[in-house]
Structure 1
């Protein structure tokens, strides 16, 4: 593996780690905030609202990450197709 390839892989891994922690944080923090509010206010419904908002926020972030991954070039490499086609007879 070349050095540039290793750095590129490390960069992609770091982006994935940041995205994963962002999704987890977006799902967990509203529930924790709701639990805190319930303990301060003496209610029982804030945690449920927080969990619901966390699930929605996590789903939105996950879908955005999937769309970004689909747009960023996770497509098959077509550079080898040109080499295969050059040896074929064009049919004429």
Structure 2
């Protein structure tokens, strides 16, 4: 008998890895990955929209984070500025018959 002949009833299978083989994604520790940090709504639509934008950085490489962070910073600064621009209660006025002392 020869060593190259398979035993009776045993069939050798050849598998072509390029055909019908499931493709396993390779783990790349340097690839972008979501941080899954929960964002609690603030009740201010402008602030909530800016904070939601932070999620866009989850799928970007590190060099793309700067643009997102600057955009969020600008939006938060604008939201704070808008709070200052809203009219508040009227300032107290002096009674016309009262003379300053």
TM-score scaled by length of structure 1:
0.46
Q: TM-score, normalised by structure 2?
A: 0.43
Q: Which has the higher helix share?
A: 1
